[in-house]
Amino acid sequence: MSSFTETGLVKKLFDLNQSQQSIQTLSLWLIHHRKHHSIIVKTWLKELQRAPSAKKLTFMYLANDVIQNSKKKGPEFGREFEHVLVKAFKNVAQSSPEPKTINSLNRILGIWGDRGVYEEPKIKEYSTALNGTETIPKVEVNGSEKKRKGDSSANESGDTTKKPRPAVGTEKKVKSEVVEVNGKVETHITLSPHQPDGDPPEPEDLIKVILELENSASSDAAVRERIASLKPEVSELAALDKLEDKEAAMKLAADVNDAIKILNDYNARLAVEMDDRKKLTTMLRDFLREQQELQQQAENRLVEYQNKLSKIKEVQKEVRNHMNNLPDLTSLPDVTGGLAPLPSAGDLFNAHHH
């Protein structure tokens, strides 16, 4: 696992995408370098604030994954994130997010409340930053609305008994997997409450599917030639009228059976190819969408640094102008050439005694 540098962290955050693998990989790296938790969280907030609106939710999923999976290692990340989450939720709320983004963040808040990740006053504080109200709004799940912990109706009833219930948005069984971190085997639990449809594929998976399609049924010229060279009799009923004896009939039956086998096999391969091409079409669409998002991020970053370069060049120009306006001390006339040298301390002392 690579060593920690702030520059490396910024690059990893820039490369972060919404896929579960991307979030989990970076989460594991951050947890491994938890001794740098302070600079990690500070940099995370700074990059979140810079990120385009569409990517801010991915940053929040990353924070959620780190906060919950780092608890078994220590409370550092939970405490550090606690101090910046209000700013983070406010930043997301002010970025004109899509309703589904707000909905997903409210699910995270509900999960944090259910699992005791943060105390209820903190959850209300985060909800206020995100929603403008302490009460987490109703979240639609599978066509129905469910109320969050801390809902006003529950408070008015005076019922403060905590009832265990599944976290909204996490009806699916929580997944875990064994991973190796710096030579040590650990169990990483997948906690981010999202399994978005259309996760972008990894480039190597996309390349593998494309390469496999190079050997698809429709590109098999040899089989197509065999099918084209089948005797016309195997597909014409009129050929039966021309049969003169049993031997000829048996030969035609064998040819028909061979033709059926060839066509059945080829049709099955074509059906598989059709499914693979549908899969590839979906993968390409999702991959293209991700690349468009990354392109937008790169364009935003380019504009940001072009503006920074422009400002630096302005400073450079002003410094040069200022230097040009300063006097050149080497070109000043020598005003000491016709004057006697100043007396030394010894000369002054002797003159005083005389």
pLDDT tens-digit readout, 58-72? 999 999 999 999 888
Residue 256 domain-assigned (yes or no): yes
Task: Let me know whether 120 and 209 are in one domain.
Answer: no
Helix locations, the chain, DSSP H: 6-15, 20-32, 37-50, 53-69, 76-82, 85-93, 99-115, 120-131, 152-157, 203-213, 221-228, 246-325, 345-353
Domain presence at residue 296: yes
Q: Is residue 238 part of a domain?
A: yes
Residue 92 lies in a domain: yes
Q: pLDDT tens across 81-123, in order?
A: 999 999 999 999 999 888 889 999 999 999 999 889 999 999 9
Q: Convert the pLDDT of each residue in 178-223 to its tens digit.
A: 444 444 444 555 554 443 445 677 788 888 889 888 888 888 889 8
Does the residue 348 lie in any domain? no
Mean pLDDT of 11-27: 91
Lowest average pLDDT, out of 139-143, 176-180, 287-291, goes to 139-143
What is the chain's mean pLDDT, rounded? 79
**Would you say the pTM of this structure is higher than 0.75?**
no
Mean of pLDDT values over 156-172: 37
Cβ-count burial 241-266 (b if 16+ within 10 Å, e if not): eeeeeeeeeeebeeebeebeeebeeb
- Closest Cα partner for 56 from 16, 20, 116, 108? 16
Looking at the fold, whether 126 and 234 belong to one and the same domain comes out as no
Q: Residue 306 above 90 pLDDT?
A: yes
* 302, pLDDT greater than 70: yes
Confidence of residue 291 (pLDDT cuts 50, 70, 90): confident
Clarify whether residues 117 and 207 are in a common domain: no
Is residue 187 one of the residues assigned to a domain?
no
Same domain as 207, residue 112: no
Domain boundary among the residues 99, 131, 163 is at 131
The residue segments making up the domain with residue 110 are: 6-131
Mean pLDDT calculated for residue range 77-84 = 94
211 and 291 fall within a common domain:
yes
pLDDT at position 188, please?
53
pLDDT of residue 297: 77
pLDDT at 236: 82
CATH classification at residue 88: 1.25.40.90
Q: Among 131, 153, 179, where does a domain finish? A: 131
Angle, in degrees to the nearest 10, between helices 53-69 and 99-115: 10
Q: In this structure, is residue 147 part of a structural domain?
A: no
Residue finishing a domain among 131, 158, 189: 131
Strand 139-141 versus strand 184-190 pairing type: unpaired
Percent with pLDDT over 70 in the chain? 76
| pLDDT of 319 higher than 90 | yes
Per-range mean pLDDT, top range of 42-56, 151-165, 284-298: 42-56
Residue 150 has pLDDT above 80, yes or no: no
Domain assignment of residue 94, yes or no: yes
In the predicted structure, residue 173 carries a pLDDT above the cut 50:
no
pLDDT for res 63: 95
> What band does 4 get if pLDDT is binned at 50, 70 and 90?
confident
Helix (H, G, I), strand (E, B) or coil at 224: helix
Residues 113 and 224 in one domain: no
For the chain, how many structural domains are there in total? 2
